[in-house]
Amino acid sequence: EIVLTQSPATLSLSPGERATLSCRASQSVSSYLAWYQQKPGQAPRLLIYDASNRATGIPARFSGSGSGTDFTLTISSLEPEDFAVYYCQQRSNWPPFMYTFGQGTKLEIK
């Protein structure tokens, strides 16, 4: 099973600052990497797919990069509504296609 490790576990920043979240895979996932945002009491929302493509309706301040085993989600200038938990997700390259999530990074207001 491919393990995704997210860091840091908690990130404390102020509105207007830049956030950089990391996701590392235990083996290559090519570009099968997605990022989700989850707010309390809500379902996750897709932000980024295929490592660097923004989902429909996602603001341009969100960007994703990386391939293989190391991936980054960057929020260029934090808005108050961006404080939430972020998860990365992968799908294996070869069948059977298994999925795993990282343990999450909590982005909190400093």
Partner 1 sequence: QVQLVQSGAEVKKPGASVKVSCKVSGYTLTELSMHWVRQAPGKGLEWMGGFDPEDGETIYAQKFQGRVTMTEDTSTDTAYMELSSLRSEDTAVYYCATGPLDLWYFDLWGRGTLVTVSS
CA distances in angstroms from 79 to 8, 13, 18, 37, 91, listed in the order given? 19, 11, 10, 14, 30
Q: How far is the CB of 12 from partner 1 (least distance, A)?
A: 19
Nearest by Cα to 82 from 50, 45, 52: 45
Q: How far is the CB of 38 from partner 1 (least distance, A)?
A: 8
Query: Measured from the CB atom, is 13 or 46 closer to partner 1?
Result: 46
Query: Measured from the CB atom, is 16 or 49 closer to partner 1?
Result: 49
Query: Measured from the CB atom, is 37 or 75 closer to partner 1?
Result: 37
Q: How far is the CB of 40 from partner 1 (least distance, A)?
A: 11
Contact assessment for residue 106 and residue 91, using Cβ atoms and an 8 Å cutoff: no
